[in-house]
Amino acid sequence: MPSGRRLRSRREQGAALLAVLWVIALLIGLVAGASMLLLQDIDLAATKRQVFRARMLSEQALAIAMNPDVKPDDPLLRGQVADDERYLVEMTGEDGLLNPNTLILREDRQTLLNVFKYWGMELQQANVLVDRMIDWVDADQFQRITGAESKAYGRNGMPYNRPFRSIEEMALVLGMDEVEVAYPQWRTWFSVYADGILDVNEARPEIIAAVTGADIRLAQNLRTQRLGRDGLLNTEDDQPFQDLVSVQGILSLSAAQPGALESILKVRSNTYRILVKVEVGDLKRELAAVRRGGLNEGTSALLWMGER
């Protein structure tokens, strides 16, 4: 074969080999791409399964906690469903907080004044703020002497002239910016779902001290006795108070008239905040809810539910 023809043949063979290599590289790329997409689909499906399982598990745990016969320390409130699936439910009495709507509507001005003064506000400041909270909640446009109605706000629709629907709504009341400065943690004292009578077995010492006027050290001692030796809530050594007589003695309170203490304090909640914590693999989910219906009352109602 002439040398020119042999050279062309080698060039054609080289080109063909190069084309084959390109095709192989293309196929490898296509396979790799398809594999990546497949892996993404598999990961997405696994994530969706985790989310679905977490949602199902949290709702199952919430259903258990909604039973009015289930107590906060019930073993049913924690469980290991599978090797990588578990749940934990925490229940706390919502009546350990103050309901601003109840206090205002029953005209319990003194309790609100006690709270504001405990936060460091002057009596005049506190009185003005109480009047403005009453004007916000009542249905009329009559402005109290130191209150605030629509003219004071200068905005349409304010005040709302209805009970607060959330604690954050309280921040809209004229003068609450002064509370924000004096006591930034004020939101942790209130709940629109509490029934307005403070549960001393659930309330923090500072709330008890503010409402009753008791010395904070006595309120802390009350809390210590209630929690038992381990200092933890809802454990076996808890010692909840069964009546207000012992509470009155520990706090050194003297009721001015029969039933005076019962109008502001009690020893049992009928509203509970439920926090469901779920783990499915490496996925964690929290579901919160508020249940109305005390223990052994036969029925319960879901007042609020939301994810955290």
Residue count (the chain): 308
Q: In this structure, are residues 161 and 187 in contact, taking their beta carbons and an 8 Å threshold?
A: no
Q: In this structure, are residues 208 and 148 in contact, taking their beta carbons and an 8 Å threshold?
A: no
Q: In this structure, are residues 67 and 249 in contact, taking their beta carbons and an 8 Å threshold?
A: no
In one letter, which amino acid is 69?
D
**Lowest mean per-residue pLDDT among 20-29, 57-66, 213-222:** 20-29
Q: Alpha helices of 198-239 — where are they, by DSSP H?
A: 205-212, 216-227
**Lowest mean per-residue pLDDT among 39-53, 70-84, 198-212:** 39-53
Over residues 197-211, the pLDDT tens digits come to 999 999 999 999 999
pLDDT at 295: 63
Q: In this structure, are residues 276 and 61 in contact, taking their beta carbons and an 8 Å threshold?
A: yes
> Superfamily assignment of 100-189 in CATH?
EpsJ-like (1.10.40.60)
**pLDDT band at residue 116 using 50, 70 and 90 as cut-offs:** very high
Check pLDDT > 70 for residue 40.
no
Burial of residue 177 (CB within 10 Å: 0-12, 13-18, 19+) is exposed
Torsions phi, psi for 88 (to 5 deg): -145, 130
Compute the distance between CA of residue 294 and CA of residue 69 in angstroms, rounded to an integer. Answer: 8
Structural domain boundaries of the chain? 3-94+273-307, 100-189, 196-268
**pLDDT band at residue 132 using 50, 70 and 90 as cut-offs:** very high
Over residues 257-281, the pLDDT tens digits come to 546 788 889 999 989 999 999 999 8
Compute the distance between CA of residue 301 and CA of residue 295 in angstroms, rounded to an integer. Answer: 12
In one letter, which amino acid is 50?
Q
Average pLDDT over residues 66-73: 87
Cβ partners under 8 Å of residue 28, min gap 6 = none
